[in-house]
Amino acid sequence: MTIIEKINLSFLRAIIRLICIMPYGWAVALGRSFGRLGSLILPFHLKVGIMQARATLGIDDAEGFMKNIFMNQGELYVDAIRTAYMTDSELKAFVDFQGREHFELARASGRNIMIVSPHMNWEVLGNTPRILDVEICVMADYIKSKVVQTIADEIRSRYRIALLPPKGGMVKNYINQLKQGHIVGIIIDQRGKREDRVFCDVLGLPAPTNPAPAFIALQGDAVILPLYGFKEGDRFIFRFSKPIDSRDFGNDYKGIDKISDYWKSSAVRNLSCALHAWISSTVREKPDQWFWLHCRWARRADMKKIIRQGSDFREFVLSQAKDYHPVERVQETKAPRERK
């Protein structure tokens, strides 16, 4: 690290120590203040959230709703820091873990287990292995900033998760971990690559969705445990929903060797949509705790264009789903090679 990076690292560590020792109410107020500031200096994300919330939830005061979302995100980072540095007994007193019987039954069955979550208080959910006293394998991207990466590594090391390297093939790595009997965890509400996506209903609108989680669960013969966390007052609730068995969706995935062929499998498509039906239900239950800042229904470039041109967001979302035909896309890409 450069001298400047070392100074910044020391400064961030000092801020973390301060957040951990100051009265909780003060720390929350600090986090929410930074979140409010974020809504002012990140106007694009504010506009994205407003459009998405208005189109899916029909919220009249979408701007006020989104300002609160920003403040909740600031509060989330405070809670992520404080929970990481709590003792196990302090953490278990801070979190009410519901639906644990689903987890225990899945373990007793001897089946491979995949835990899936939405972007809802996901940083605090990282403490799940400490509470359940199990190892969970997750994958995290590298962060460009060395300083931020160092801080993230220090915090994540306290979660007791087994971090998988983001290189070497995410899909293959996760499938191998499942087949070896390891529990894996994945945040699943993401768009995926432009060429590899299935459209699923998310809050009433078709959203381009990464088929990889469903593909991994099917190939790994997993019982899927949906898990989400939400805050009530000054405490968190972690909740396992009813398990989803990948075996219930058929076996036509067995003829697929790579994720790019996902469109050949109704099992991959249907399981993807079932997972996002669950996500929609959790977001409707706690809409102010989901990560609305993410461009969920369209790519960032498309969102910028919609904002710049004042286009109809809902109309764009519906049209992109209608115009997407993966089978035709693959046939078209193969045609030139066949003619040579």
Span 128-152, average pLDDT: 87
* Beta strand extents in the chain (DSSP E only): 95-98, 112-117, 136-139, 162-164, 183-187, 198-202, 205-209, 222-232, 235-240, 244-245
Structure tokens at 317: 């979302």
* Residue 339: pLDDT over 70: no
- pLDDT at position 195 is 67
- pTM for this prediction: 0.90
Closest CA to 24 of 64, 79, 63, 62: 79
Instruction: Tell me how far apart the alpha carbons of residues 87 and 235 are, in angstroms, rounded to a whole number.
Output: 15
- pLDDT at position 139 is 83
Instruction: Tell me how far apart the alpha carbons of residues 5 and 63 are, in angstroms, rounded to a whole number.
Output: 36
* Residue 227: pLDDT over 50: yes
Q: Is 14 helix (H, G, I), strand (E, B) or coil?
A: helix
Instruction: Tell me how far apart the alpha carbons of residues 17 and 154 are, in angstroms, rounded to a whole number.
Output: 13
Lowest model confidence (mean pLDDT) among 44-58, 107-121, 166-180: 166-180
Instruction: Tell me how far apart the alpha carbons of residues 222 and 166 are, in angstroms, rounded to a whole number.
Output: 21
Span 306-316, average pLDDT: 95
Arithmetic mean of pLDDT over the chain: 90
Instruction: Tell me how far apart the alpha carbons of residues 134 and 154 are, in angstroms, rounded to a whole number.
Output: 19
- pLDDT at position 130 is 93
Structure tokens at 25: 């109410």
Q: Which amino acid is at 246?
A: S
* Residue 243: pLDDT over 60: yes
Q: Are strands 235-240 and 222-232 parallel, antiparallel or unpaired?
A: antiparallel
Q: Is 230 helix (H, G, I), strand (E, B) or coil?
A: strand
* Residue 330: pLDDT over 60: no
Percent of the chain with pLDDT over 90: 73
- pLDDT at position 333 is 40
- pLDDT at position 335 is 42
Instruction: Tell me how far apart the alpha carbons of residues 125 and 229 are, in angstroms, rounded to a whole number.
Output: 6
Instruction: Tell me how far apart the alpha carbons of residues 290 and 66 are, in angstroms, rounded to a whole number.
Output: 11
Span 134-152, average pLDDT: 85
Structure tokens at 81: 């820091």
Structure tokens at 193: 């690559």
What would the pLDDT profile of 253-307 be if each residue is shown by its tens digit? 988 888 888 888 899 999 999 999 999 999 999 999 999 999 999 999 999 999 9
Cα atoms in the 13 Å half-sphere on the side-chain side of 229:
21
Instruction: Tell me how far apart the alpha carbons of residues 303 and 50 are, in angstroms, rounded to a whole number.
Output: 12
> Of residues 155 and 85, which shows the higher confidence score?
85
Span 214-227, average pLDDT: 96
- pLDDT at position 235 is 92
What would the pLDDT profile of 157-209 be if each residue is shown by its tens digit? 888 888 887 666 788 899 999 999 999 999 999 887 766 788 999 999 999 99
> Of residues 56 and 154, which shows the higher confidence score?
56
Span 99-121, average pLDDT: 95
Lowest model confidence (mean pLDDT) among 31-35, 145-149, 336-340: 336-340
